[in-house]
Structure 1
Amino acid sequence: MQKKVIFFEVQGGTDKGPDGYRKDTMPMVHALKERGQDAEVIFFDLAKREDIFQYVKEHGIAYVSRINPGNLQHEAEYFDMLRELCAVGVIGMPHPEAMIGYGSKDVLSKLTSTNLVPDDTFAYYTVETFQSQFPTSLASTERVLKQNRGSTGEGIWRVQLVEPLAEGLTAVPLDAQIKCTEAKDNHVEYWQLAEFMTFCEQYITGTNGMLIDMRFLPRIVEGEIRLFMLRDKPVHVVHKKPADTEDAFSATLFSGAQYRYDAPEAWQALVDNFLTQLPLVTRLLGNYALPLIWTADFMLDTNEAGEDCYILGEMNCSCVGFTSELSLAHQVAEEIITYLAEQTATTV
């Protein structure tokens, strides 16, 4: 009996089509079946968790996770089930620890030893560390604070001093006035630093709470560059240019950004450097296999030699969609089959 590739989904959510599935899931199922590899979709349901585990353990050669974490009420239990499936030999696409490692905002602080992330990038897991470090980092340059939760720019703030810092100060006074622009819609708020930091404590507390603190890159106005990856292969590049309005720095469609799709060859320097760094990235993030479908977002910067360079802003692999380019399902299916052959060859 041929074992199946199981696609995990969850019922409900705004990412579903009229048939109840994500629009990019069934094309992958059909593409695999066209190539002789059986596949099916299973909806994760906590009440059926044990039955699902036993079924996939018996009938599945691999799983592909297609669940948007925002649509999943029982994320911890889902990840535990994926860990158990991997432990009994089901091939994870991706492994749950890779999903966490590549998808969490603190990936940036873990990659400061690469040339992809500036070394003055910090992760705050406690309010005390945030209160201690942030006034100092803000004294050196404009900053961007990113919460771990949320999406479409919510809880991502560009923070600027309203008045220049007095000479000789190495930390911003807590009563200093700051200008804060949220990436969600580029709206501006003015705060005292102490009050804003108290407001931001909500991002640190609770499950998976943290804040990332990195320098603001002014060339974000030239656009964010997203690499769409199938494992170690760049498939296309999305150039996301913020709206041409004052204070705009968000590259989300909601905020008015314009998207353009390019071939990877149009961004050869970025692609070459990223692929060169990829083995180090893999080791730093736990040495798990690269996710099947994932993205890496970059911003333009200028290095000390005055040359263009690219700074990693975020990665995502939880449930990267390609609903506007469903023909990619055939490339995904080929990649799945290639990966299955690699994995089964190493276990024979």
Structure 2
Amino acid sequence: MPISVLICDDSALARKQMARTLPKEWNIELTYATNGAEGMKAIRQGKGEVVFLDLNMPVMDGYEVLEAIQKEDLPALVIVVSGDIQVKAYERVKELGALDFISKPVSADTISQILQEYGILELAAGYSKTPEPMIKVDLRDACQEVANVAMGRAADLLSKLLNVFVLLPIPNVNVLEVSELTMTLKATEESGTVSALCQGFIGAGIAGEALLLFHDSSFQDMAKLMKLENPEDETTELEVMIDTGNVLIGAFLNGISEQLHMTFSQGHPVVLGRHCTADNLINENADKWKRTLAMEINYRIKDHNIQCDLLLLFTEDSLPTLNHKLGYLLD
């Protein structure tokens, strides 16, 4: 009898990658879920003896799924597969009963090794071929999953440097006109004034700017975590913003470059505005942001009043190269 396997991830690309890495000799009946609520429904129906579970999902995230499985005492062996590679994330999912934790992007060797280590592969071996997943992946979905992995790399570095847990959202990826980008940036206004810096980047056929919006209410807490003197000093604020930008922007771009198998050169960070509204920021810089592919990530730190938005704005001319680079993922 085949074993029921559930892949629960909001990304079509991640579901496709995960399915392709499963051992060909494994006799399974495969089910997909696009969020935690769908995943729980499948598990309750007996379609998740083995579950590959993402953490950052809409409706119901991976942590909530693990809590529900524990509470209902459901017979599911859960392996977390996530771009959030923070140590605290690993510790938390283990406490919630996860069998193991795999960082994205997954590899067939890693999956096979873990399944053999826990004796899962032998539960239903001897099958000739795992059915090829019929999942369509578009450019936006592929970019969102690439951003998800890169976001996790940046959060992991920040968490290690400050000894904190970084709360991660679902990345927002869209091809935007200037007016739509304006609306995206205006969403920060409800949190008061912001300070911002940008840093240009360029690779082979891909170029753009990384924009970091640092919420002004975050400066003092961030300065204390960095153990900087005079947290209210203007020079300290500038140091906080530039140091945070170096960590988040550098690690994020490295995460993208690893997945696209290319390197980026980065320009010097430039302060765009201090203690201003998003409106002012947009009006002064809108000319250089025309039609763009935007990756938006909102970083927050648990138990601290710290929030910053990272936007990667790729030029419209970069889209053909991105399509080409991601082609092997979209097939």
TM over 0.5: no
TM tier relative to shorter chain: 0.3 to 0.5
Instruction: Considering fraction of residues, name the structure with more helix.
Output: 2
The two structures have a TM-score, normalised by structure 2, of 0.35
The two structures have a TM-score, normalised by structure 1, of 0.33
